[in-house]
Amino acid sequence: MGAVATADGVVAADTLRITEIFYSLQGEARTVGLPTVFVRLTGCPLRCLYCDTEYAFHGGEIMSLEHIADQVAAHKPAYVTVTGGEPLAQPNCLPLLSRLCDQGYEVSLETSGAMSVAGVDPRVVKVLDLKTPASGEVARNDYGNVQYLTPNDQVKFVICDRGDYEWARFKLDEYTLGDRVSDVLFSPSHEQLAPRELAEWILGDGLQVRLQLQLHKYLWDDAPGH
Ligand code: SF4
């Protein structure tokens, strides 16, 4: 089914390693709740302490871009999200994104903020994480990505504690993120920070950010395939 490794193990140029392709409701960001096809690429160079997709670090199946596009099209979606792992860790993510845009979908890319988004098709909605101190990966943030953000993009902070919140508030000001993107998302780390507590901090400080709860965790308890 689309595996294109040759007999000598050489992988053809137009392929990606894919953990899963599935149809579900968007759990996060601006299109939360809308039916969406997810293409989850395998592999991530980061190891965030709260990672909920460790099953995507290894394994997966090599597929041609054409086969991936066919799998997506079978669901007749309006929205497609390319995620991981860290999708940009595989260079062929870029042509996949353009190909999906060419097919007429609204395409979003969930990326860790650790890899350059310079080459991402401008039609793609970038949902860029900035890793907070309690993620354990704050040193991996590539702040050069901020210059590539557009009013169609979104920035996400996963907040684990008050220290993360203060750090995110500082970054919000430092990079004038509210003026650059459509949405700044403050998401409480599941089972680490009570959503109500984060809500009260946001209101107390009058921050113009969106509190984001991860819908899929409430609906499906984070099971793969949703
Ligand atoms: S960047 Fe995402 S996939 Fe990679 S370790 Fe962090 S949370 Fe997990």
Q: Known binder of ligand: residue 113?
A: no
Q: What pTM did the predictor assign? A: 0.92
Helix H or strand E encompassing 184:
strand 183-188
In what side-by-side order are the strands of the sheet with 35-41?
61-64, 15-25, 35-41, 79-83, 106-111, 125-129, 154-159, 183-188, 210-211
Nearest residue (by CA) to ligand 1, atom 1, is 112
Q: Which superfamily, per CATH, for 15-220?
A: Aldolase class I (3.20.20.70)
Rg over alpha carbons for the chain, rounded to the nearest Å, is: 17
Residue 2 pLDDT greater than 80, yes or no? no
Q: What share of the chain is helix, strand, coil (3-state, %, to 5)?
A: 30, 25, 45
The one-letter amino acid at 157:
F
Does 52 count as an annotated binding residue? yes
Tell me, using a 6 A CB cutoff, whether residue 112 lines ligand 1. yes
Atom 3, ligand 1: residue with shortest CA distance: 85
Asked if pLDDT for residue 78 goes beyond 60, the answer is yes
- Tell me the per-residue pLDDT of 184-200, one tens digit each, with 9 for 90 and over: 999 999 889 999 999 99
Atom 7 of ligand 1, residue of closest alpha carbon = 51
| 87 in contact with ligand 1, CB cutoff 6 A | no
CB of 114 closer than 8 Å to CB of 141: yes
Flag whether 6 is marked binding: no
Task: Please work out whether the CB of residue 113 comes within 6 Å of at least one atom of ligand 1.
Answer: no
Q: Quick: pLDDT tens for 86-145.
A: 999 999 999 999 999 999 999 999 999 999 999 999 999 999 999 999 999 999 999 999
Q: Which residue has the higher pLDDT, 7 or 58?
A: 58
